[in-house]
Structure 1
Amino acid sequence: MNTPLPFDHRDSAHIPGHWLLARLGKRVLRPGGIELTERMLDAAHLPGADVVELAPGLGKTATAILGRVPASYRGVEADAAAAARSAEVIGTAGTVTTGDAADTGLAASSADAVVGEAMLTMQTDPHKSAIIAEAFRVLRPGGRYAIHELALTPDDLDGGIKTEIRKALARSIKVNARPLTRAEWTDLLTAGGFEIETVTFAPMALLRPRRVIADEGLLGTARIVRNVLRDRSARQRVLAMRATFNTHRRALVAIAVVARKPNA
């Protein structure tokens, strides 16, 4: 039997959007979907690497990482229930511990790759920098930090529009999401000591039918639809999130960045 999801006890009107979607049966909770995750992981060169994943959540990306046959896998998850769920998914193939992404407790220079998806966006700017600093500390020289996040476009997007989008996201997903532009994401990483290797984009189509089917399959999509129809409050939330994404679809994209810790 699966470990209960985080916030399983909360009503659908107040639960954070990503955990609401997970409770409804959605397993891919990344803004760019499985395809962008796969491209990012390929660019991170994981075969034979010691890999650390920050905030593995439900363990979906962990499975993709393990499929690339790393030397080792360790997940660090702040939420105890999510950590337990991830541990169930990976079994004996790796280790998941409960901890803060900005203070993992891992040894310095102990990993060849650090992966984090859809988690920096949810942090304040200072905490983003703290997590990036921790990734830099944990990586060996030449190691890669791979992130998959929500981004704003274009780089010169008006500050008022940025604020409007962030407020709309906070209202609909119940989390103070702070997506950045491509330039802001890469500047944040270079300020943390990294060198940018690759930047890849995908449409932010998390709740579009075609993306849901691609990520979840027909049976998974049918399960999600059934659960949405059974829960009126959840249905209202999902429709509100989808409306927010559609309203700002020209300014919202998914971004994946692979950055490298210099050799010296």
Structure 2
Amino acid sequence: MTETTYSEKTGGPTTSEEHRAAGHWLLAKMGKRVLRPGGIDLTRRLLGSLQISSADRVVELGPGIGRTAQLVLDGGYATYTGVDPNEDARRQIAAVLAGHHDAAVREGDARANGLPDGSADVVISEAMLTMQSAADKSTIAREVFRTLAPGGRWGLHELSLKPDDVDQSVVDQISKALSRTIKVGARPLTTRAWTELVTEAGFEIEWTDHHPMKLLSPTRIIADEGLRGALRFFNNVRRNPQARQRIMAMRKVFRANQDHLEAVALIARKPER
């Protein structure tokens, strides 16, 4: 993907044209800071249930523009490490981490993060596994298991399909529609399949929660961004016809498939032995 620098103030074009950018980066360019399928509410519930303390070494995979990192940094933690392969994303997250103790971002891939065995107590990943192939999902799950110390927790927040017995033809149709409009391969799983993925890597599921997938509904945008942030986003989209066309197409696909889309959050624990 072409690297892009985004401006919340102008919403104007930078190094990638709006019709080519991945959907999540296009939304970020327009000023959207919360890019998770279940919104800030599900992220907060996930973090609350993880019960991160000042003794926890936290690793976040694909921290994006740093909204979740900010929530972690505002609470208690021992160390925070963001892992992201994208140079532009690392620059943005570095600005969020500035001034916070023992907080850094490093280049790395979720499939091989380069961290030592057992070097984390908490791993967080949101809206990242959905974009991976089945093989890479399994590889990442095993890599998280390796990275966590015994008893460590993995918090996931992903796009999910419902119900658990949804027909495979529907799964394929939704995946193709999502991938076509967001310009990134989207392969969401049912809650049952997400659970199987995690347990097959050796984890034990401790907590599961869901929230409606309404990423681009006006009420969700206001809830996630606050009134001022939402108005900035709406204004940027209004002034950028290409971006508006793309975002409306994404919203149309989300709405057309709303009966089968939701957000899921899981907490999985690595056994003590």
TM-based fold match above 0.5: yes
Letter in 2 for 1:41: L
For 1:37 and 1:132, locate their aligned partners in 2 and report how far apart those are by CA, in whole Å.
20
Q: Where does residue 10 of structure 2 map in the other structure?
A: none
TM-score (norm 1): 0.97
Q: Where does residue 156 of structure 2 map in the other structure?
A: 147
- What is the CA-CA distance between 1:8 and the residue it aligns to? 4.2
User: Secondary structure at 2:98's aligned position in 1?
Assistant: helix
For 1:57 and 1:101, locate their aligned partners in 2 and report how far apart those are by CA, in whole Å.
13
Q: Where does residue 27 of structure 2 map in the other structure?
A: 21
- What is the CA-CA distance between 1:5 and the residue it aligns to? 4.2
User: Secondary structure at 2:25's aligned position in 1?
Assistant: helix
Q: Where does residue 10 of structure 1 map in the other structure?
A: 16
Q: Where does residue 47 of structure 2 map in the other structure?
A: 41
CA deviations on 1:232-259 (whole Å, 9 max, x unpaired) are: 1111101100000000001000000000
User: Secondary structure at 1:250's aligned position in 2?
Assistant: helix
For 2:14 and 2:42, locate their aligned partners in 1 and report how far apart those are by CA, in whole Å.
28
- 1:200 equivalent to 2:209? Answer yes
Q: Where does residue 37 of structure 2 map in the other structure?
A: 31
- What is the CA-CA distance between 1:260 and the residue it aligns to? 0.2
- What is the CA-CA distance between 1:171 and the residue it aligns to? 1.2
CA deviations on 1:140-170 (whole Å, 9 max, x unpaired) are: 0000000100000000000100000001101
Q: Is the 8 A contact 1:8 1:23 kept in 2?
A: no
Q: Where does residue 220 of structure 1 map in the other structure?
A: 229
- What is the CA-CA distance between 1:229 and the residue it aligns to? 1.0
Change (3 A) 1:88 1:178: same
Change (3 A) 1:92 1:106: farther
User: Secondary structure at 1:212's aligned position in 2?
Assistant: helix
- What is the CA-CA distance between 1:4 and the residue it aligns to? 2.6
- Match for residue 169 of structure 2 among 160, 164, 180: 160
Q: Is the 8 A contact 1:5 1:82 kept in 2?
A: no
For 1:141 and 1:14, locate their aligned partners in 2 and report how far apart those are by CA, in whole Å.
42
Q: Is the 8 A contact 1:5 1:85 kept in 2?
A: no
Q: Is the 8 A contact 2:5 2:15 kept in 1?
A: no
- What is the CA-CA distance between 1:92 and the residue it aligns to? 3.7
Indicate the RMSD between aligned Cα atoms, in angstroms: 1.3
Q: Is the 8 A contact 1:196 1:257 kept in 2?
A: yes
- Match for residue 84 of structure 1 among 85, 91, 112: 91
Q: Is the 8 A contact 1:58 1:85 kept in 2?
A: yes
- What is the CA-CA distance between 1:130 and the residue it aligns to? 1.0
For 2:59 and 2:76, locate their aligned partners in 1 and report how far apart those are by CA, in whole Å.
13
| Pairing of 1:113-152 with structure 2 (within 5 A) | 113-152=122-161
Letter in 2 for 1:243: K
TM-score (norm 2): 0.94
- Consecutive unaligned residues in structure 1, runs of 5 or more: none
Q: Where does residue 52 of structure 1 map in the other structure?
A: 59
For 2:243 and 2:187, locate their aligned partners in 1 and report how far apart those are by CA, in whole Å.
23
Give the fraction of aligned pairs with identical amino acids, expressed as a percent.
49
> For this pair of structures, how many residues does the alignment match?
262
Q: Is the 8 A contact 1:101 1:134 kept in 2?
A: yes
Q: Is the 8 A contact 2:53 2:78 kept in 1?
A: yes
For 2:187 and 2:232, locate their aligned partners in 1 and report how far apart those are by CA, in whole Å.
30
- What is the CA-CA distance between 1:99 and the residue it aligns to? 0.9
Letter in 1 for 2:39: G
User: Secondary structure at 2:258's aligned position in 1?
Assistant: coil
User: Secondary structure at 1:46's aligned position in 2?
Assistant: coil
Q: Where does residue 253 of structure 1 map in the other structure?
A: 262
For 1:53 and 1:166, locate their aligned partners in 2 and report how far apart those are by CA, in whole Å.
25
